Amino acid sequence: MAKGPKNNKKKGPNYFEMNIRSFGENFLERKTPLDIQKDAKKIFMDLAHGNINIDRDAIYFTNVNFLINLIQVATDNYWYHMYTSVGMKQILQNTQAKQIDAVFVRIMERHDYTAKAYSILITYLTNILNNKGAIINLTNLMRELYSFKGAFSEMFIVRDDYNRRQERRTY
């Protein structure tokens, strides 16, 4: 007997499901800006993997504070990856080809790929923030991010982390 495709795995709970289960439907009221920024990676991964229930979850994307914090994190990560990519391209242009190995080029391309993914996020989230329709923008965002699924497994920057770590240190 033939078996069905192996890709029929049920996706785990997304960010919104987990928080609704733990804190109820008004969970965003309990989240600080830093909480949202730290959670952004999971949200971005859910978007890229199509693991967002538009009918249930789109309402959360109408929350201005939620969107502003997602846009902030996406922007910080965009600039991190863009600056790194551009810097590596400069090194590549100023160095003789014999001195650059394939690993360097792959890392440079990976930063460029990840910067593109964050650029897409910024565009769509800004459109949603500017009241241009959460549902249609989320649908298009998920469709466009699908080819960038791996981009969000990279290093992830949350601006306040460094300051908080420094404050906790005792000398």
Going by pLDDT thresholds of 50, 70 and 90, the confidence category of residue 5 is very low
> How many other C-beta atoms are found inside a 10 Å radius of the C-beta of residue 91?
13
pLDDT, residue 153, reads 83
pLDDT, residue 100, reads 77
Map out the domains of the chain with their CATH numbers.
33-155 (1.20.120)
Q: Whole-model pTM?
A: 0.83
State both tokens at 121.
Answer: 């996020």
State both tokens at 36.
Answer: 């949202």
Mean of the per-residue pLDDT values of the chain: 85
Pairwise CA distance, residues 90 & 95, whole Å: 9
- Nearest CA-CA partner of 167 in 28, 18, 34: 34
Pairwise CA distance, residues 113 & 93, whole Å: 19
